[in-house]
Chains A and B, each alone.
Chain A
Amino acid sequence: MASLSLAGVSKEFNKMTAVSPLSLDIADGELVCLLGPSGSGKSTLLRMIGGFEAPSSGQVLIAGQDVAHTRPDKRPTAMVFQSHALWTHMNVFDNVAFGLKLRKLSKAAIETKVMEALELVGLGGYHKRMPRQLSGGQQQRVAIARCLVLEPKILLMDEPFASLDQHLRERLREEVRQIQRKLKITTLFVTHAQDEALALADRIVVMSMGAIEQVGTPDDIYANPQTQFVANFIGTMNMIPGAVSGGRIRASGFDLDAGFSDGPATLAIRPEDFAITETGTTVLVKRVVNLGPFLLAEAEHADGTAITVHLDKTHPVREGSSLTLTAKRHAIYRDGEKPYRSQPTA
């Protein structure tokens, strides 16, 4: 149990930058998700914390101690790999016990701890199985038990559930959350699935091309994406090209306030942030999809801009009908950054 700080940590592979110098502070007991597209440097960052890659620069501080150039076997971190990486020549018990044996614990103590850890991940009674006799989800639970049994200060998980089906993922995600809460273990969880990050994290770190785009709570990241990249990556965002002049932005029939200097800019509105009104922008509905609790209308403005709108089911809408919309809330981006956010109107 400890805090984790990255100070100016970077990684280059043969002159190619995988992670640009970045800093990040994670509090004791926090669960932080690293979220980003493939190749954004999430694994590289995690592997630097675990000790499997040496940073090209910077410090990795665990409870204030720099471990940037300490070998993995000497670090108080534990990692769950995407491909569970269980040792296939050992049974479940020996997989979980291996780290304890290296620590020269007594046989009785090892047995108690291993059984407890297996119980914790819901695998009591499976200790004699070989890894190949387990399902993918069970294998991943063993990998988690193998880490937890050592009571690491930092738990690192690199897309641990990526190879599992959606249902199992959601269940394991919940279990990880509960275990993490119970043990209050500082956890860094890599994923490229936004639903996983939103459901799991105390805070989310959005990464793109080796750099941090934004750090914030799930609510904050969703409601106030600081960059156009984050806005696009988390949830759905309508990006409407337009121009600012005299403190207003005009884009595809919308005319909204903008605390921006004059010039081209992008108007961003979430599908659920539209209101159906008497006056406003008229769009033509091309397609209606029933998403269960609400309808999703794919519409098009007369200038050809595609606009996606969420509607509640009481609203009559058909393909070919038109909708008149205003924005309850919007943001404005220029050069992908420097956002302007309106206050939500009721």
Chain B
Amino acid sequence: MIGFIKRLDWPGYVLALFLIFFILLPIVTVFLWAFTEQWFYPSVLPTKWGLRYWFKVLERPDVWAAFFTSVQLSAIVTALSAVICLPAAYAFARMEFPGKQFFMMSFLMGNAFPRFALIISIAVLFLTLNLVGTYLGVVIIQLLNTILLMIWLPTAAFQAVSRNMEEAAMDVGASPLRVFWHITLPQALPAIGAALLMTFVWTFYETEGAWLVGAPRVQTMPLLMMSMINNQLVVQYGAVLSVALWVPSLVALLLARRVMGSDSFAKGLGA
């Protein structure tokens, strides 16, 4: 421990403090609140622990309704995103066509733009199209959100598939379609799986778009959490939901990260 501290120089200390204050502390606080029944100032720790609010939260029908709305929404958005983006990703990875560079750049530029401003302008457009407050509107705005990830990751994955592997398959008699189905797709699958997983998780937690376009009629989980935290003055509701949702999404992201740390993925990005 001493040795560890000794090796940190001052930027290390600053970084450590920063991490503790802005990341670790809030997470710990949320965890504490989730298992708190009573917490009187100025006690450092809750004065009464318990699972009472867990039961309260799980009894609420609006929580379950929002949960299923969010799962359904995320599944639909992820599926649509895959249907639209995966073929595009393959085209970007394997084909030459005019405007390819422009397309790739335009995705980046769209994502570099301040997101909230972009979403507002889309929401205004939706207003004229009568999409505001509709399920379809939320699907579309969240879909737009996922496109960058669902094109870039799979493009890298397809690029990482060895050309020789595909040629070897052609060589033994596989048509281009079969090569894709039996060789290219299985080779790229782990990274595509990671992209799907991340898209699902991100969509599940997407807030701004859902709020601007969907609220109050389409009630997603994060929107419900927001309203609970803002209106009910019972911190525990939000905390319980955060912790409950944190675990599956952490597992999903860890899984995704494992795939992305792998060799083939790094190669794909380098290519």
Closest to A146 in B: B172
Task: Report the Cα distance A147→B169, complex, angstroms.
Answer: 11
Evaluate contact between B173 and A85: CB separation under 8 angstroms: no
> In the docked arrangement, what's the CA distance between A51 and B175, Å?
13
A121 to chain B, nearest CB (A): 16
Smallest CB–CB gap between B42 and chain A, Å? Answer: 60
Chain A 55-89 interface residues, beta-carbon cutoff 8 Å to B: 71-74, 77-79, 81, 83, 85-89
Chain B positions within 8 Å of A77 at CB level: 171
Chain A residue contacts of B175, Cβ below 8 A: 73
In the complex, the chain B residue whose C-beta lies closest to that of A158 is: B164
A98→B182 contact, CB < 8 A: yes
Q: Which residues of A contact B62 (CB under 8 A)?
A: none
Q: Is there an interface contact between A88 and B187, defined as CB atoms closer than 8 Å?
A: yes
CB atoms of B174 and A73 under 8 A apart: yes
Which A residues are CB-close (under 8 A) to B183?
A: 87
- Interface assignment of A54: CB less than 8 Å from any CB of chain B: no
The answer on a CB contact under 8 Å between B165 and A87 is: yes
B168 adjacent to chain A (CB < 8 Å) = yes
Rounded to whole Å, the gap between the CB of B166 and the closest CB of chain A is: 9
Determine the distance from Cα of A88 to Cα of B178 in the docked complex, in whole angstroms: 16
User: A50 at interface (Cβ–Cβ under 8 A)?
Assistant: yes
Report, as a range, how many residues of chain A touch the other chain. Answer: 20 to 34
Q: Pick the contact of A89 from B164, B167, B168, B186 — CB < 8 Å?
A: B186
Within 8 Å CB of B169, what residues of A? 87, 98
Which B residue's beta carbon lies closest to that of A72? Answer: B170
**Binary contact readout B139-181 vs A (1 if CB under 8 angstroms, 0 otherwise):** 0000000000000000000000010110111111111001000
Q: What residues of chain B lie closer than 8 Å to A81, measured between beta carbons?
A: 164, 167-168
- Are B172's CB and A99's CB within 8 A? yes
Residues on the B chain within 8 Å of A85, using CB: 162, 164-165, 167-168
Q: How far is the CB of A60 from chain B (nearest CB, A)?
A: 15
Q: CB of A103 within 8 A of chain B? A: yes
Complex Cα distance, B173 from A99, in Å, reads: 6
Measured between beta carbons, the chain A residues less than 8 angstroms from B170 are: 51-52, 71-73
What residue of chain B has the Cβ atom nearest to residue A97's Cβ?
Answer: B172
A128-153 CB contacts (< 8 Å) to partner B: 143, 146-147, 150
- Least Cβ distance of B36 to chain A in Å? 49
A102 at the interface (CB under 8 A from B): yes
Of the candidates A50, A72, A74, A147, the one having the most CB atoms from chain B within 10 angstroms of its own CB is A72
In the bound complex, do residue A83 and residue B162 qualify as a contact, i.e. CB atoms below 8 Å apart? yes
With contact pairs A85-B165, A89-B186 given, residues A72 and B171 touching in the complex (Cβ less than 8 Å): yes
| Docked complex Cα distance between A71 and B162 (Å) | 19
B164, A83: Cβ atoms closer than 8 Å: yes
| CB–CB A79/B168 < 8 A | yes
A131 to chain B, nearest CB (A): 11
Task: Report the bound CA distance from A319 to B104 in whole Å.
Answer: 67
Distance between Cα atoms of A74 and B183 in the complex (Å): 18
Q: Tell me the minimal C-beta distance from B178 to chain A in angstroms.
A: 7
28 sampled A-B residue pairs with Cβ under 8 A: A50-B171, A52-B167, A52-B170, A72-B167, A73-B170, A73-B175, A78-B171, A79-B167, A79-B168, A79-B171, A81-B164, A83-B162, A83-B164, A85-B165, A85-B167, A85-B168, A86-B168, A87-B168, A87-B169, A88-B165, A89-B187, A98-B169, A99-B172, A102-B172, A102-B173, A102-B178, A146-B172, A150-B172
Which residues on A are within 8 Å of B, measured CB to CB? 50-52, 71-74, 77-79, 81, 83, 85-89, 98-99, 102-103, 143, 146-147, 150
The 3 closest A-B pairs by CB, nearest first: A99-B172, A85-B164, A85-B168
B residues with CB within 8 A of A: 162, 164-165, 167-175, 178, 182-183, 186-187
